[in-house]
């Protein structure tokens, strides 16, 4: 699918929203991400971005934060112009509107993590204008908040939407302080009956998960989307090892992921998210030689059979690898 950039908006000092016109209607479930391909210095780079817009139309939007030394996020911020085109693959992802039905929701986000939960919010309200939703967005300062106009407009239109801004470095009637268990407890005395969906930096999500659980939400009603894969625990996986794939030998050093090692030799591995989320980089090997930070969407049976995610795995010995 081809996307043509039609509009760029600067949301904060390091976050932009890009609108695109696709050459076909986008079919996805709110909350899902779009794998996009960008050509930088002759090489094709692939990254995933959660769709902030709604399905069933050709117009779509992505909201992207510059990552320190990040290749694609900075390239887009510095070089993408209206009229430029990108390639995109079909949307995917398990973090989506199928995780809830008619339950009351609490949607939590920080920074650009707002994208999937904003898409869920808009679709839920379109489906059921009486849906009971608490929407909490966290930012360091008032200027770092995103989608302010859109969210304020929704909150004035829907009385049943409780919009909460948590701003760490600012006080005042308009904002709550930094998100905490106490802030969550004060929002709703019936929090435990809600389904929680959250997206933001790892530390933010770990804390929010703990607070929600201690306020009575069942673990199975708390869902999150991770934008960045955790680096596998290091220790035993130091030094260099050899991966053998279809008779070809590839050297992998202790700190490299299997994905990095295979890509550096030009082996044909497809990696849509690079974050242990989508399962597209699935490989098979000897599980006793693997150090994986996540098995993401793989089933217990897959893992038992030696399947692993190349983007989230290192090795601690020489190993035979099958791709796919
Ligand atoms: C399912 C999914 C949905 C996503 N949706 C969004 C979205 O809506 N908006 C958005 O801005 N990003 C989103 N991302 C993150 C995005 O895919 C890229 O990882 C991010 O833009 C960084 O890419 P890069 O090429 O700039 O950095 P890279 O060149 O890949 O990385 C450079 C350095 O930054 C670190 N790094 C990589 N990603 C991150 C990160 N997310 N945060 C902090 N450090 C990082 C790397 O470890 C590396 O050290 C999503 C990721 C996933 C898996
Ligand atoms: S690339 Fe998506 S799980 Fe590895």
Residues 313 and 254 in one domain: yes
Residues 103 and 191 in one domain: yes
Assess contact for 232 and 313: CB atoms under 8 A: yes
Answer yes or no: is 36 within a domain. Answer: yes
Residues 190 and 116 in one domain: yes
Quote the pLDDT of residue 150. Answer: 97
237 band by pLDDT with thresholds 50, 70 and 90: low
- CA–CA dist 100, 221 (Å, integer): 9
For all residues of the chain together, what is the average pLDDT?
Answer: 92
DSSP 89: P
What is the CATH classification number for the domain harbouring 310?
3.10.20.30
pLDDT in tens, 243-266: 999 889 999 997 899 999 999 998
- CA–CA dist 257, 274 (Å, integer): 10
| Domain final position from 175, 198, 225 | 225
Answer yes or no: is 232 within a domain. Answer: no
Quote the pLDDT of residue 153. Answer: 98
pLDDT in tens, 71-111: 999 999 999 999 999 999 999 888 999 999 999 999 999 99
For residue 305, report the distance from its CA to the centre of ligand 1, in Å. Answer: 30
Residues 76 and 129 in one domain: no
Answer yes or no: is 231 within a domain. Answer: no
Q: Which residue range forms the structural domain that includes residue 275? A: 240-323
pLDDT in tens, 171-226: 667 778 889 999 999 998 889 999 999 999 999 999 999 999 999 999 999 999 98
Quote the pLDDT of residue 171. Answer: 65
25 band by pLDDT with thresholds 50, 70 and 90: very high
Residues 57 and 125 in one domain: no
What is the CATH classification number for the domain harbouring 145?
3.40.50.80
Domain count, the chain: 3
Whether residue 233 has pLDDT greater than 90: no
Answer yes or no: is 153 within a domain. Answer: yes
For residue 272, report the distance from its CA to the centre of ligand 2, in Å. Answer: 6
Spacing of C-alpha 8 from chain mean position: 21
Q: Is 112 in the pocket of ligand 1 (CB under 6 A)?
A: yes
Residues 102 and 207 in one domain: yes
Answer yes or no: is 235 within a domain. Answer: no
Residue 312 Cα: closest atom of ligand 2: 4
Residues 84 and 119 in one domain: no
This prediction has a pTM of: 0.88
Q: Is the dihedral of CA 125, 113, 271, 53 positive or negative?
A: positive
Hey, whose CA ends up nearest to atom 26 of ligand 1?
70
Residues 136 and 37 in one domain: no
Residues 184 and 244 in one domain: no
Residues 58 and 101 in one domain: no
Ligand nearest to the CA of 51: 1
Hey, whose CA ends up nearest to atom 20 of ligand 1?
73
For residue 296, report the distance from its CA to the centre of ligand 2, in Å. Answer: 8
Q: Is 110 in the pocket of ligand 1 (CB under 6 A)?
A: no
Residues 215 and 271 in one domain: no
Pocket test for ligand 1, best of 86, 228, 230, 232 (most atoms within 8 A of CB): 228
| Domain final position from 195, 225, 255 | 225
Ligand nearest to the CA of 11: 1
pLDDT in tens, 118-163: 999 999 999 999 999 999 999 999 999 999 999 999 999 999 999 9
Answer yes or no: is 33 within a domain. Answer: yes
Residue 271 Cα: closest atom of ligand 2: 1
Pocket test for ligand 2, best of 47, 230, 294, 309 (most atoms within 8 A of CB): 309
Quote the pLDDT of residue 297. Answer: 84
| Domain final position from 30, 55, 88 | 88
- CA–CA dist 54, 60 (Å, integer): 7
Ligand nearest to the CA of 43: 1
Assess contact for 134 and 106: CB atoms under 8 A: yes
Residues 170 and 277 in one domain: no
pLDDT in tens, 298-320: 999 999 999 999 999 999 999 99
For residue 48, report the distance from its CA to the centre of ligand 1, in Å. Answer: 8
Ligand nearest to the CA of 91: 1
DSSP string covering 267-286: -----SSSSSSS-TTEEE--
**Which segments of the chain does DSSP mark as H helices, in order?**
71-79, 114-127, 148-157, 181-187, 202-214, 258-264, 300-304
Answer yes or no: is 202 within a domain. Answer: yes
Answer yes or no: is 14 within a domain. Answer: yes
pLDDT in tens, 53-72: 999 999 999 999 999 999 99
């Amino acid at each position: 699918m081809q996307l043509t950039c039609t509009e760029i908006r600067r949301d904060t000092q390091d976050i932009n929203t890009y609108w695109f016109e696709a050459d076909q209607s986008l079919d996805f479930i709110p909350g899902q991400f779009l794998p996009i391909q960008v050509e930088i210095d002759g090489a094709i780079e692939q990254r995933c971005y959660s769709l902030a817009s709604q399905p069933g139309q050709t117009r779509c939007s992505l909201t992207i934060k510059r990552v320190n030394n990040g290749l694609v996020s900075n390239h887009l911020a510095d070089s993408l112009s209206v009229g430029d085109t990108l390639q995109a693959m079909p949307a995917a992802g398990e973090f989506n509107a199928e995780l809830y039905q008619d339950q009351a929701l609490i949607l939590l986000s920080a920074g650009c993590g707002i994208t999937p939960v904003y898409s869920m919010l808009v679709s839920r309200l379109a489906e059921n204008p009486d849906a009971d939703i608490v929407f909490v967005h966290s930012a360091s300062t008032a200027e770092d908040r995103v989608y302010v106009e859109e969210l304020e407009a929704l909150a004035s239109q829907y009385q049943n939407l409780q919009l909460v801004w948590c701003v760490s470095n600012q006080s005042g009637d308009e904002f709550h302080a930094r998100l905490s268990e106490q802030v969550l407890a004060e929002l709703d005395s019936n929090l435990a009956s809600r389904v929680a969906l959250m997206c933001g930096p790892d530390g933010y999500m770990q804390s929010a998960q703990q607070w929600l659980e201690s306020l009575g939400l069942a673990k199975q009603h708390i869902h999150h989307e991770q934008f960045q894969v955790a680096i596998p625990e290091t220790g035993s996986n130091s030094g260099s090892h050899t991966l053998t794939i279809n008779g070809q030998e590839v050297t992998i050093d202790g700190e490299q992921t299997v994905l990095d090692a295979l890509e550096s030799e030009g082996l044909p591995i497809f990696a849509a998210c690079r974050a242990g989320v989508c399962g597209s980089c699935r490989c098979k090997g000897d599980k006793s030689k693997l150090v994986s930070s996540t098995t993401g969407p793989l089933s217990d049976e897959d893992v038992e059979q030696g399947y692993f995610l190349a983007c989230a795995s290192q090795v601690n010995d020489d190993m035979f690898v099958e791709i796919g």
